[in-house]
Amino acid sequence: MKLQFREPGINPAVLSGWEDAPPRKGFFTDTSICIGCKACEVACKEWNHVPEDGLEWLGTSYDNTGSLGASTWRHVAFIEQPIAKPASENGIASNGSANPDFRWLMSSDVCKHCTEAGCLDVCPTGALFRTEFGTVVVQDDICNGCGYCVPACPFGVIDRRDGSDSAKNVGIAQKCTLCYDRIGAGMTPACAQACPTESIQFGDLDELRVRAQERIELLHQQGNKSARLYGEDPNDGIGGAGAIFLLLDEPEVYGLPPNPVVTTRDLPEMWKRAGAAALALIVGLAAASLKR
């Protein structure tokens, strides 16, 4: 038996018991064509019955969602990038030319569905699992709300749901499922289907990576040197993401960690040592069960 955590480029579903796994599915969110309409936020909530998440005005540009969380599985960030220096006296800036001196960046964030998923590694109940599509899903019928997964996520995506007892799944850890039910039936996740400009694209991850690469090359050719891909590198700290992004600036600008590392990176070594003992115990238990 091989306790393999890291095999860059390999579909994690295959390593998780899905020998016949379909191609790994994912998102490519191209923020360069996002218009910040938030259709993704609403379509996600509507399909997944995610409750309203507070009626607070945040005063942070047009973002009143704040961050991903148990009741926000898509979050559109709005970043107003100010003018470096006034172009003329009185602070009256010229603008609007082909080289804009002001940008309003918008980006729809979502669970990264990491190849090496910390939340999944630490879940003691098996509520979090790797699906045949290579995605990471919380099963709310199993989750007991222990919350171990919450600090394990390097992106702060997963959380336990607050709210009154009458609300759905209160206390249970929640996050994007990449619409597990929809993609299982050959449908597109709700957010990607709604997205007016195809800023959110859904598909086979391999294909999305190619598309992302082509797009970034085009933007670079057009002189947009600060554009970059995020989460596409299988050698990064999470083994590459299942939800990759094209950003127009540093990840930090969008509130994303620049070098995310799976919080359980050292676990394999620990497991190897504990492995033999554990195996003996498990075999013993199974044998005991058979005799019952």
Q: How many CA atoms lie within 13 A of 225 on its CB side?
A: 1
**Angle of CA points 217, 218, 219, to nearest 5°:** 90
Backbone angles phi, psi at 125, to 5 degrees: -105, -10
Q: Which of residues 71-110 bind another protein (CB under 8 A)?
A: 80, 82-83, 90-98, 100, 102-106
Give me the residues paired with residue 77 across strands.
107
Shortest approach of another protein to residue 233 CB, angstroms? 22
Report if residue 222 touches another protein, rule: CB under 8 A. no
Q: Which of residues 44-63 bind another protein (CB under 8 A)?
A: 45-47, 51-57, 59, 61-62
Distance from C-alpha of 84 to C-alpha of 227, rounded to nearest angstrom: 19
The single residue among 10, 42, 170, 253 that binds another protein, judged by CB under 8 A, is 42
Shortest approach of another protein to residue 199 CB, angstroms? 9
Report if residue 35 touches another protein, rule: CB under 8 A. yes
CA proximity to 50, closest of 75, 21, 72: 72
The single residue among 25, 130, 161, 175 that binds another protein, judged by CB under 8 A, is 130
Report if residue 159 touches another protein, rule: CB under 8 A. no
Distance from C-alpha of 200 to C-alpha of 39, rounded to nearest angstrom: 11
Report if residue 253 touches another protein, rule: CB under 8 A. no
- As given in the structure block, the two tokens for residue 217 are 């090359």
Report if residue 148 touches another protein, rule: CB under 8 A. no
Report if residue 202 touches another protein, rule: CB under 8 A. no
